[in-house]
Amino acid sequence: MPAIAWPLSSRPGLSDAEGSGRLINAFVEKLGDGARAPVSRRRAPGLGRFVDTGLRGPRGMREIGANVLAGYRDQVARISEDGTVRVLGPLPGSQRITIGRNNRAPVPDIVATTEYGAYKLRLDGQPQPLIIPEGLPQPNSVCELFGFLFFTAGDGTCFASGLNAVTFNTLDKTTEQARPGGLLRGIAFRDELFLFGPSGIGVYGGQAQANGFPLARVTGIPRGLIGPWAVAGHEEGWSNEMLWVGDDSVVYKLSGYAPARVSNHDVERDLAAAAKVDRTAIEASVHLIGGHAFWVVSMPGRTWVYDLTTEQWFERASAGLDRWRGTQSTNAFGRWLIGDSAGTGLLEVREDVFDEDGAPLRFRIESLPGQGFPQRLQIPRADFDFVLGTGRLSADPTIRDPRVLISWSDDGGTTWSNPLSRALGRQGETRTRINVLRTGLTGVQGRIWRIDVSDPVYCALVGGAMAVKARTE
């Protein structure tokens, strides 16, 4: 029987008829030589609850020593590895924050920038406003490099603190003027300072100087940042390149000092549409799981994930939402932790969790169209090659006896059949066969198959095949 063509990357197309398969909460992993298929399509990692903070509206977090400092709506909390949560006090605002720290010993200075100004954070007390001298603008981001804290501002200024201090000299500043629009974000990456503006990036580095602005301008990158939160890959624990959404709605990976396009047209259309509404709602994060380096970009209505390991894209969507609920990751305690935009939990991205903090994590794959245009095809049988026997001993029937729903479309994905339920096999039942019979004639656009698994068990699709008989009308 001819093989069913499953996608390697999600490509929904501008219209249903132009799509070439979708992966939603599913990603591709290359299998070893001699496996029965070149790749497996697995369920995306789930979200387990690390701790319930009791706080909503995550704004940003950072590991500081043996703790995580996390901002929430109007609050900041300290979270320890044993799950203890201590609310430290008010941190005004509800918008995203940045957190920087220097190398002062034994306790570093910690600073956060909010929409209401900069604040000094402590591990054992309330935040206090950071006094910025007259002559320096109010900052919109902070990062650290070589013991200095670097602050950016909307007028294009970047100014530095004293070495391992939170004192300021109004002469220790520079203005990024190569391109207009001011600065949106400062990021330290590979021992250099990247100053992101809306139309370009200034790169600063070299030996740190004791007088004046500590760093010298190295080069410029003629591609800006679409919004202040649309960049990730600089985080501690991430071992890959930095990626960002450019001012042209294209996702770029930093290659030396050159921006290398990694997005496809579907990703770019979604980003362009989101930018027309609210550029600040486009946010990026990263996590590493099972050797896969996932760079995530979320916006209202969609989440896209780029797997740097396979160089393929897939989509994520949480139950009841159009986008993924995860937001703002940090590597702490040997885990990838992520905020929860839908609840009060601090979540952990885990390969061995098959739901999202108890909510279903629907694995969905839509095939490429199987067609013989302009002929219609008769499909007497289709078989689907899953990893079988993945049920586990449990009183929960969705775990004990997991099911897959199979449906199809004969008009390019505009309408779908009623789904047919098939068993994935209880624990040890590896001889289960998953097929559907007598599914009728395709349309002239061919047949698209849709696979859905919501039950919380390990799930992987290896392949599929369908019997085909040509018909002419």
* CATH code for the part of the protein at 16-44+363-471: 2.60.120.260
Cβ-contact 460, 42 below 8 angstroms: yes
Provide CB contacts within 8 A for 367, sequence distance 6+: 4, 5, 6, 7, 21, 448, 449, 450, 464
On the question of pLDDT at 56 being above 90, the answer is yes
On the question of pLDDT at 472 being above 70, the answer is no
Distance of CA 229 to the CA centre of its chain: 12
Q: What is the C-alpha to C-alpha distance for residues 13 and 198, in angstroms, rounded to an integer?
A: 28
Which of 8-12, 288-292, 351-355, 467-471 is the least confident region?
Answer: 467-471
The pairing of strands 460-471 and 39-43 is antiparallel
Q: What is the C-alpha to C-alpha distance for residues 323 and 156, in angstroms, rounded to an integer?
A: 33
How confident is the model at residue 50, as a pLDDT? 98
CA distances from 9 to 19, 136, 279, 289, 372 (A): 11, 47, 25, 18, 23
Cβ-contact 375, 472 below 8 angstroms: yes
Going by pLDDT thresholds of 50, 70 and 90, the confidence category of residue 333 is very high
Amino acid (1-letter code) at residue 254: L
On the question of pLDDT at 371 being above 80, the answer is no
Cβ-contact 277, 284 below 8 angstroms: no
How confident is the model at residue 408, as a pLDDT? 96
Average pLDDT over residues 104-113: 96
Percent of the chain at pLDDT exceeding 70: 99
Both tokens of 465, joined, read 């095949």
On the question of pLDDT at 181 being above 70, the answer is yes
The domains of the chain are located at 16-44+363-471, 46-56+241-359, 97-228
On the question of pLDDT at 76 being above 90, the answer is yes
Both tokens of 380, joined, read 């007497």
Which of 120-134, 364-378, 388-402 is the least confident region?
Answer: 364-378
For residue 106, say if its preceding peptide bond is cis, omega within 30 degrees of 0: yes
Average pLDDT over residues 406-415: 94
Which pTM does this prediction carry?
0.96
On the question of pLDDT at 67 being above 80, the answer is yes
Amino acid (1-letter code) at residue 80: S
How confident is the model at residue 374, as a pLDDT? 79
CA distances from 231 to 30, 205, 288 (A): 27, 20, 16
How confident is the model at residue 81, as a pLDDT? 96
Average pLDDT over residues 118-123: 97
On the question of pLDDT at 292 being above 70, the answer is yes
How confident is the model at residue 24, as a pLDDT? 98
Could you read off the pLDDT of 257-275 as tens digits, one per residue?
A: 999 999 999 999 999 999 9
Could you read off the pLDDT of 423-446 as tens digits, one per residue?
A: 999 999 999 899 999 999 988 888
Do 16-44+363-471 and 97-228 have matching folds?
A: no
Largest CA distance in the chain: 82
* CATH code for the part of the protein at 97-228: 2.130.10.10
Over the chain, what is the mean pLDDT? 95
On the question of pLDDT at 168 being above 80, the answer is yes
For residue 228, say if its preceding peptide bond is cis, omega within 30 degrees of 0: no
Both tokens of 116, joined, read 């209401």
How confident is the model at residue 438, as a pLDDT? 93
